Structure 1
Amino acid sequence: MPTLDDVAALESRFGRADAASVLAAALARFKGEVAVVSSFGAESAVLLHLVAEIDPATPVLFVDTGRHFPETLAYRDALTSRLGLKDVRSVAPAAEEVAQRDPEGTRAVWDPDGCCAFRKVAPLERALSPFAAWITGRKRYQAETRTVLPTFELDDGRIKVNPLATWRPEHLAAYAGEHRLPQHPLVARGYPSIGCAPCTRPASHDAPRAGRWAGFDKTECGIHGRTVLPATSDT
């Protein structure tokens, strides 16, 4: 099982490397034991393109909550085909869980934390069980909860890799333009950050996550809530 020493060593060696080098190191170090977790949201194409350039057979986990916009599901399929991704896995809560915990499909309105817990957090945890590491597309600029995001973390016994941590919107736009990556269709309609349909509203690009869980004191779904950093980390 990975340790804080492993995280510290990776951060020391690759923490300031470019995203492609970070990904290449992670995919080599954890070969067969690493997955990408992607929402196929507004900024997902860049990370997925970087991964596909190195190894398109890398497992990609998509949490299908049953509440996504139809545009997101269509974008997932189109981007998978466009990039030649060979192992995209949709993971979801069991039908029995949905029937028991949210029979009327309204839980997001009155208990968004509980909705995320059984629709996103639990299914992803089950899907990650075979892996020692996972790769995310989180960036420091996205929210106050991410401003000191390191490149490598220890999260619930697994190493989490954030190769785009230091990227800004202009970097993402330049990369997407250079490689002619298709944009999520909802971005043009004012959605700079895209989650489940009941919990996502249009927002300013200056505060991209302001449209997520509007009206609630909630900024994260819970997937990224168990991070541990080495005591010697300078991030």
Structure 2
Amino acid sequence: MSELAQSVSLPSANPSEARARDLDAALRAASPPEIIAAALREVGRDRLALVSSFGTESAALLKVMADVDPAIPVVFLDTGWLFAETLAYRDTLIDQLGLTDVRSIKPLDADLDRDDPARDLWFSDPDQCCFIRKVEPLRRALAPFEAWLNGRKRFQGGARAEIPVVEADGVRMKFNPFANVSREDINAIYALGKLPPHPLLASGFLSVGCMPCTSRAESDQDTRSGRWQGRGKTECGIHTMKTS
């Protein structure tokens, strides 16, 4: 907002921005279950979704969510390039955690045929590949919802180092229940919940996305250092582009 707009106290063009700031201040020191419960109270189950990649740390957030309400809708972006191990892990966690509303969303065939007929766009233009396989499908998937939950953590570094607990994402709010957690906290959730690790974690994959753009990484490296190696790219776009 400009200094002029501030001086005359013009209302925010997006009410979710002001509400997100208020909630972020109120929930700054809240635990992950408290943040998820607050999101439920704010918009209701039918208007809240959790977006999960079912990656190497996803089970922790899904476990916390399931303990609060296992019927919260879960959006899973099936890009067409996922590891078979990730798809199997998704099914394992659905059964173990008793998740009742997991929605697998795929890219549109028309977008793939138009922009990636040879299915090699990941190599020539990874940003556009992520857009048609993740950003656009997520926009469609989130259309019915007023708020969404995700598993980003500050300790993952990069663009995630300063994320708030609650933020505005276009017309809806984005809750980051794990913003404040540590790696030790994540490990404790896995241990207490007897959660299985992602099958590829033992093979050196610290963060798992699409097959062409995921590499092994050293254990002392940044968690996401194995994503888009050598490209100067650290995010797929769903957290850097507005979803509405």
Q: Do these two structures clear the TM 0.5 threshold for a shared fold by scoring above it?
A: yes
> In structure 2, do the counterparts of structure 1 residues 2 and 92 end up closer, same or farther at CA, with 3 Å as the change threshold?
farther
Matching residue within 232, 238, 243 for 1:217: 232
Indicate the residue corresponding to 2:11 in structure 1. Answer: none
Distance in 2 (CA, whole Å) between partners of 1:119 and 1:226 is 14
**Correspondence list, 1:51-200, <5 A:** 51-200=65-214
1:58-85 Cα distance to aligned partner (Å, 9 max, x none): 0000001000000000000111111000
Indicate the residue corresponding to 1:27 in structure 2. Answer: 40
Distance in 1 (CA, whole Å) between partners of 2:34 and 2:22 is 15
Q: In terms of Rg, which structure is larger? A: 2
Deviation at 1:29, TM superposition (A): 1.3
> In structure 2, do the counterparts of structure 1 residues 2 and 91 end up closer, same or farther at CA, with 3 Å as the change threshold?
farther
**Percent identity at matched positions?**
47
Segments of structure 2 that go 5 or more residues without pairing to the other structure are 1-13
Indicate the residue corresponding to 1:230 in structure 2. Answer: none
Amino acid at match of 2:19: D
Deviation at 1:225, TM superposition (A): 0.9
Deviation at 1:3, TM superposition (A): 2.0
Q: Is the 8 A contact 2:158 2:234 kept in 1?
A: no
Q: TM-score, normalised by structure 1?
A: 0.93
Give 3-state SS (helix, strand or coil) of 2:224's partner: helix
Distance in 1 (CA, whole Å) between partners of 2:16 and 2:123 is 39
Moved over 6 A (4+): none
Distance in 1 (CA, whole Å) between partners of 2:22 and 2:200 is 40
Deviation at 1:54, TM superposition (A): 1.1
**Correspondence list, 1:6-21, <5 A:** 6-21=19-34
Q: Is the 8 A contact 1:2 1:132 kept in 2?
A: no
> In structure 2, do the counterparts of structure 1 residues 2 and 86 end up closer, same or farther at CA, with 3 Å as the change threshold?
farther
Q: Is the 8 A contact 1:136 1:160 kept in 2?
A: yes
Distance in 2 (CA, whole Å) between partners of 1:19 and 1:109 is 37
Q: Is the 8 A contact 1:108 1:198 kept in 2?
A: yes
Q: Is the 8 A contact 1:209 1:219 kept in 2?
A: yes
Segments of structure 1 that go 5 or more residues without pairing to the other structure are 228-235
> In structure 2, do the counterparts of structure 1 residues 203 and 210 end up closer, same or farther at CA, with 3 Å as the change threshold?
same
Q: Is the 8 A contact 2:153 2:160 kept in 1?
A: yes
Q: Is the 8 A contact 1:2 1:158 kept in 2?
A: no
RMSD (Å), alpha carbons = 1.2
